[in-house]
């Protein structure tokens, strides 16, 4: 499992319901701003139970056909996320770049109404496990999220739940 990437996905995803009204890369602009995060983890094969609170800041900009967010978690640089959008397929590809040049493969973003999902998978000892972070946006400044895993892609087990509240910036 790409643990560092998983942490970034959980922390990063501070999208709002307004994103569904925007098209393509413009939808990603709702990342911008500072967010208070609260996460509750349960015991799972991929982590221990616990509770975390923190501050997430996304400095975001668009340049041509790309949208980027430099993400800070509790004041420390955590990742640079670059988004590309294919309007013909209506799909997003994400490229996380971690400090120290740690390798991370490209990911996907799936958008369905007010639900934004970042799926990925990991294969270890010949066994593939699917993971996803699911974000449900209640309004422009609030998100409820969950992180899940599945061995078959159909039955999902929750590893963490939480909420993000925007404290500065506008979508």
CATH number of the domain within which 47 lies: 2.40.128.20
Give the pLDDT confidence of 107-133 residue by residue, as tens digits: 999 888 788 899 999 999 999 999 999
Q: Which domain holds residue 65?
A: 3-168
The domain tally of the chain equals 1
- In this structure, of 20-24, 34-38, 130-134, 163-167, the range with the lowest mean pLDDT score is 20-24
pLDDT exceeds cutoff 60 at 51: yes
Q: For residues 74 and 72, give the distance between their C-alpha atoms in angstroms, rounded to a whole number.
A: 6
User: Which residue, among 104, 116, 108, 33, has the nearest Cα to 72 in the 3D structure?
Assistant: 33
- Report the DSSP pairing between strands 91-97 and 107-112: antiparallel
**Using an 8 Å Cβ cutoff, are 134 and 115 in contact?**
yes
Tell me the whole-structure pTM to 2 decimals: 0.81
Q: How far is 163 from 111, CA to CA, in rounded Å? A: 18
Higher pLDDT among residues 27 and 61, named by residue: 61
**pLDDT > 90? residue 60:** yes
């Amino acid at each position: 499992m790409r643990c560092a990437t998983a942490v970034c996905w959980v922390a990063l995803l501070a999208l709002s319901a307004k994103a569904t009204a925007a098209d393509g890369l413009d939808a990603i602009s709702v990342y911008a701003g500072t967010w208070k995060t609260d996460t509750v983890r349960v015991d799972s094969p991929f982590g221990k139970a616990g509770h975390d609170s923190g501050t997430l800041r996304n400095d975001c900009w668009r340049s041509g056909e790309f949208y980027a967010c430099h993400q800070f978690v509790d004041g420390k640089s955590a990742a640079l996320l670059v988004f590309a959008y294919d309007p013909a397929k209506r799909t997003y590809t994400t490229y996380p770049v971690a400090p120290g040049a740690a390798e991370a493969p490209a990911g996907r973003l799936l958008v369905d109404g007010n639900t934004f999902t970042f799926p990925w998978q990991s294969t270890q000892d010949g066994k593939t496990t699917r993971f996803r972070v699911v974000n449900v946006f209640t309004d422009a400044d609030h998100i409820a999220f969950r992180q899940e895993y599945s061995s078959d892609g159909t039955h999902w087990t929750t590893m963490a739940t939480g909420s993000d509240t925007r404290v500065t910036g506008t979508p």
